[in-house]
């Protein structure tokens, strides 16, 4: 087993709520609340969950694009949240991010060659000529026509812009890339092209990915392991195939059963959750999922379950996990 590249230890990110004339803090939005995960070198870790569950915040806190309220993120054994700005600048060469919106994440006033070359300009002391050579290399690597490097982003289509974002992210040969909904805004036929590109780059460059997405099918395809988040907490972590085949957490089961599948007349049981995701400013007591959980028992509303390894390689935060002795029975509900 390869070693852990990223170790997230009890990370917390609270956003204070200010109110009144004196701007007093009246509460916190607990976007990420005590999450611990580890990402192994060379793997793709998929992070799924509904909007507002804190998955993007977690991705940003891991890169220290946002400072954490508590906890530590270790990159190769060194805590990046206690680094000074010089050390941080140095380590940022090795970690990059690809954003969701291929329209908003590229500066419209920059030429494409300047966008892709910018990390090189900031982090290396290469001459303009060397940078240009590298930009051509990168554009060819991601499947863009390098003769178009003197153009502006608006002259490219959505899929091509996302390739520009990918070229920028890999410019410095990073070890770790956070892909925050990198393919969500793309059409299916373009999406498959970009997914193939990401997987090819990973193989060639030995990249480690944190792949954040709400498209569960995409995550299944690309990830080695998957973490499911709900309301700032990690509900379940496991190997992709095992997790998709037999989810342990009722929330994972509900999420998976909600994927519309491109097969008509499917007779799969669907668990339609009632209600909405509660506000992270005022999360429910005990297990955060209990008001929507079809298996909730008295204990669930009082005691908060911890993320524990109950099967080899399978962690779950649930008092009564599915398919385990003494746990909940999926057959008892659904339709």
Partner 1 sequence: MAQKLLEVRNLTTGFMTEKGFVKATDRISINIEKGQTLCLVGESGSGKSVTSLSIMRLIDYAGGTILDGKIEFKGDDLAAKKQDQMKNIRGNKIAMIFQDPMSALNPVFTVGEQIAESLRLHQNKSGDEAWKEAIDLLKLVGIPAAEMRAKQYPHEMSGGMCQRVVIAIALACKPELLIADEPTTALDVTIQAQILELLMRLKEELGMAILLITHDMGVAAEVADHIAVMYAGAIVEQGTVEEIFTNPSHPYTIGLLKSIPGFEGGSSEKELYTIKGTIPGLGNLPQGCRFNPRCPHVMDKCRQVEPGDFKIGNEHTTKCWLFEDKPEVTVSGGTGGNTNV
Residue selected from 67, 261, 267, 325 as contacting partner 1 according to rule CB under 8 A: 261
What CA–CA distance (Å, rounded) separates 33 from 293? Answer: 20
Residues 6+ apart with CB under 8 A from 141: 167, 170, 201
- Residues 274-313 contacting partner 1, CB under 8 A: 274, 276-277
What is each CA distance from 30 to 251, 277, 279, 289, in whole angstroms? 19, 14, 9, 15
What CA–CA distance (Å, rounded) separates 27 from 20? Answer: 12
Residue selected from 85, 265, 282, 332 as contacting partner 1 according to rule CB under 8 A: 265
Q: Which is nearer to partner 1, 217 or 302 (CB)?
A: 217
- Residues 145-164 contacting partner 1, CB under 8 A: 157, 159
- Residues 209-248 contacting partner 1, CB under 8 A: 214, 216-218, 220-222
Using the contact rule CB under 8 A, the part of the chain among 58-66, 92-100, 260-268, 305-313 near partner 1 is 260-268
* Secondary structure (DSSP) of 96-107: EEE-S-TTTSS-
Residue selected from 72, 273, 281, 333 as contacting partner 1 according to rule CB under 8 A: 273
What CA–CA distance (Å, rounded) separates 15 from 61? Answer: 12
Is the CB of residue 40 less than 8 Å from the CB of residue 210?
no
Q: What is the DSSP letter of 219?
A: H
CA angle 308, 253, 314 (to 5 degrees): 25
Q: Which is nearer to partner 1, 75 or 156 (CB)?
A: 156
Q: How far is the CB of 182 from partner 1 (least distance, A)?
A: 14
Using the contact rule CB under 8 A, the part of the chain among 38-46, 130-138, 266-274, 315-323 near partner 1 is 266-274
Helix/strand/coil for 119: helix
List interacting residues with partner 1 (CB under 8 A).
50-51, 157, 159, 187-193, 195-196, 199, 214, 216-218, 220-222, 254-255, 257-266, 270, 272-274, 276-277
């Amino acid at each position: 087993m390869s070693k852990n590249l990223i170790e997230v230890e009890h990370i917390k990110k609270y956003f204070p709520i200010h109110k009144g004339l004196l701007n007093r803090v009246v509460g916190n939005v607990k976007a990420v609340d005590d999450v611990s995960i580890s990402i192994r070198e060379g793997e793709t870790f998929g992070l799924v969950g509904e909007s507002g569950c804190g998955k993007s915040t977690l991705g940003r806190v891991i890169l220290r694009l946002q400072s954490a309220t508590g906890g530590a993120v270790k990159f190769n054994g060194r805590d990046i949240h206690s680094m000074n700005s010089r050390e941080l600048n140095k380590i940022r060469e090795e970690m990059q991010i690809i954003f969701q919106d291929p329209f908003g994440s590229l500066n419209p006033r920059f030429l494409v060659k300047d966008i892709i070359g910018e990390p090189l300009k900031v982090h290396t002391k290469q001459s303009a000529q060397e940078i240009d050579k590298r930009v051509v290399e990168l554009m060819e690597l991601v499947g863009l026509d390098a003769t178009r490097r003197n153009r502006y982003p608006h002259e490219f289509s959505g899929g091509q812009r996302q390739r520009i974002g990918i070229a920028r992210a890999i410019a410095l040969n990073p070890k770790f890339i956070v892909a925050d909904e990198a393919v969500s805004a793309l059409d299916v036929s373009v999406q498959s092209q970009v997914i193939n590109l990401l997987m090819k780059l990973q193989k060639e460059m030995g990249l480690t990915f944190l792949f954040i997405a709400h498209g569960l099918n995409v995550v299944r395809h690309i990830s080695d392991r998957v973490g499911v988040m709900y309301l700032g907490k990690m509900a379940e972590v496991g190997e992709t195939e095992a997790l998709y085949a037999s989810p342990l957490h009722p929330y994972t089961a509900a999420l998976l059963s909600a994927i519309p599948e491109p097969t008509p007349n499917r007779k799969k049981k669907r668990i339609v959750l009632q209600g909405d995701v509660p506000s992270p400013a005022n999360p429910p007591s005990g297990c955060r999922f209990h008001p929507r959980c079809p298996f909730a028992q008295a204990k669930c509303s009082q005691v908060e379950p911890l993320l524990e390894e109950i099967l080899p390689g399978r962690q779950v935060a649930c008092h009564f996990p599915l398919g385990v002795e003494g746990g909940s029975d999926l057959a008892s509900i659904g339709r």
